[in-house]
């Protein structure tokens, strides 16, 4: 099996929306959005809404569980420029543990919820998030915060 051409992996609680589906997709030169999220892989309504955004950008879109992503992504064609979108740090860690070759992990929106503290304007983390992201970094992943492509990248070690 060959290594998939993952142009970027992004954590965004919202998954695919205008900013991800249009701005980021064109910025990284993706032609396929791969949403790796267990809940969304089984939610037809969410898929339809996200597919409409992908269609606007003229790219393909797939909805896979984390396990399917781990077992299938290595079968990707070299011509697929994959933008991998996930919901949280736990899914990022599962992908890295499962052997998905994540090189760059962009932290986009990680919304506030109970127990999370603000580390940047749009990024909230708890101790588990920090541990999972540190695990990814310790396994060769370049982890950084960058809301939009025009923003300066903030390395993980600067924000936690």
Confirm whether pTM is higher than 0.85.
yes
160 within a domain of the structure (yes/no): no
Report the domain count for the chain: 1
Average pLDDT per block of 10 residues along the chain, 160 residues long = 92 90 92 97 96 92 98 96 98 98 96 95 96 98 96 95
82 within a domain of the structure (yes/no): yes
Structural domain harbouring 76: 6-147
- Active-site residue, 74 included: no
63 within a domain of the structure (yes/no): yes
113 within a domain of the structure (yes/no): yes
141 within a domain of the structure (yes/no): yes
Measured CA angle at 118 (ends 117, 120), to 5 deg: 155
CATH number at residue 31: 3.40.35.10
10 within a domain of the structure (yes/no): yes
pLDDT, residue 2, reads: 78
Show Cβ contacts of residue 90 under 8 Å, excluding neighbours closer than 6 positions: 128, 129, 132
Show Cβ contacts of residue 111 under 8 Å, excluding neighbours closer than 6 positions: 13, 124
From the list 17, 74, 111, 139, the catalytic residue is 17
């Amino acid at each position: 099996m060959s290594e998939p051409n993952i142009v970027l992996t992004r954590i965004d609680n919202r998954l695919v929306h205008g900013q991800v589906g249009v701005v980021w997709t064109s910025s990284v030169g993706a032609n396929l959005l791969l949403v790796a999220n267990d809940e969304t892989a089984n939610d037809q309504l969410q898929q339809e809404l996200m597919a409409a955004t992908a269609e606007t950008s003229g790219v393909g879109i797939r909805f896979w569980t984390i396990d399917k992503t781990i077992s299938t992504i290595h079968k990707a064609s070299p011509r697929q420029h994959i933008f991998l979108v996930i919901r949280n740090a736990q899914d990022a860690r599962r992908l890295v543990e499962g052997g998905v070759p994540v090189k760059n992990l962009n932290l986009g929106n990680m919304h506030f919820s109970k127990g999370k503290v603000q580390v940047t304007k749009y990024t909230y983390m708890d101790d588990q998030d920090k541990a999972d992201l540190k695990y990814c970094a310790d396994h060769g992943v370049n982890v950084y915060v960058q809301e939009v492509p025009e923003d300066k990248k903030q390395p993980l070690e600067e924000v936690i």
